[in-house]
Amino acid sequence: MDMLGTRDVYGKTLVELGRESENIVVLDADLASSTRTNYFAREFPHRFFNMGVSEQDLIGTAAGLALAGKLPFVSSFAIFLAGKAWEQIRQSICIPNLNVKLVATHGGITVGEDGASHHSTEDFALMRVLPNMTVICPADGVETEKVIREIAKHQGPTYVRLARPKFPVVLDDAYQFQLGRSFTLRQGKDLTMIATGIMVYQCLRAAEELDKEGVSAAVVNMSTIKPIDAPAIASAVRQTGAILTAEEHSVIGGLGSAVAEVVSQNCPAPMKIIGVDDLFGVSGNADKLMAHFRLTYPYIAEGARQLLKRK
């Protein structure tokens, strides 16, 4: 199976966009080699700004560049970009509805050995609550390229969460990302799994395991977390009558919460939210942490079995 790093694809796509438009500028908080914005910096040094370990200033400068007519792409680790600079994002970008693209790498617990201080399991919630903000988490490297190109055309504040490690490719090159629209990778009749990021692959594996037991599970890639694809969620409820969500994020305030808001108000049905329980991360190997926090496909399959008992 092909493996791609979403942050690697981001860096390469930024360079391509930079060649296409001199209006694009890139800002980073002294982490360019990790976020891969160093690719852009090498080719366009006059359009790259290393703001140092100063995330609030990073956002304020990006806002000024947007007001001057530039298209800023702003990057840092998810925990620093969404956390340290939250007030500045709210005040300087979202309230005036500026066209700034926040692309955070090192999201979730697969940051690994860096531990709780660097594990961002709250960023979806922090960004989703802000008016005017769009929130996206691509399923793989193929979708990452499509997302970065699409948000360059989209007007308004946008937050994209990428990962540190490489993970399996689940989409082919013919796939077309549509902002605010989900994509069904697998049809099913017994339940629907709605996932984002690396969890799309884990849900596909879980669906394969369930299929051996005669359970038919649909798998939906919900890469746009805000605005959520409410019609697709309602359709899934009508078709399967049970919804399981999966995300590399806290079970509080993320994809599961967004889906539950739609389900509870429009089409009540049994639900199961798979994610990081109300806990901070711990230091360890990324794969082992996925198992530790019960985010791998065997745990998803077990969650589906429990859900079906309530159907």
Q: What is the DSSP letter of 45?
A: G
Number of Cβ within 10 Å of residue 276's Cβ equals: 24
- What does the pLDDT average to over 3-11? 97
> Count of residues for the chain?
311
In CATH, the architecture of 183-309 is: 3-Layer(aba) Sandwich (3.40)
Mind listing the pLDDT tens digit for each residue in 182-227?
999 999 999 999 999 999 999 999 999 999 999 999 999 999 999 9
Q: What pLDDT does residue 31 have?
A: 97
> What is the C-alpha end-to-end distance of the chain, expressed in Å?
34
In CATH, the architecture of 3-168 is: 3-Layer(aba) Sandwich (3.40)
SS3 of the chain: helix, strand, coil, percent, to 5: 45, 20, 35
Nearest by Cα to 226 from 267, 186, 266, 257: 257
For residue 140, what pLDDT band results from cuts at 50, 70 and 90? very high
> Quick check: 33 and 18 in contact, CB under 8 A?
no
Active site residue 55: yes
Alpha-carbon span 274 to 288, nearest angstrom:
17
Q: Hey, do 3-168 and 183-309 end up sharing a CATH topology, with the first three levels equal?
A: yes
- Both tokens assigned to 29: 């908080």
- Is 0.95 surpassed by the pTM of this model? yes
Q: Which of 16, 22, 55, 247 is catalytic?
A: 55
Mind listing the pLDDT tens digit for each residue in 239-268?
999 999 999 999 999 999 999 999 999 999
Mind listing the pLDDT tens digit for each residue in 264-304?
999 999 999 999 999 999 999 999 999 999 999 999 999 99
Parse the chain into domains and list their residue ranges. Answer: 3-168, 183-309
* Amino acid symbol at 56: Q
For residue 1, what pLDDT band results from cuts at 50, 70 and 90? confident
Nearest by Cα to 76 from 143, 162, 8: 162
Mind listing the pLDDT tens digit for each residue in 70-123?
999 999 999 999 999 999 999 999 999 999 999 999 999 999 999 999 999 999
Q: What pLDDT does residue 288 have?
A: 96
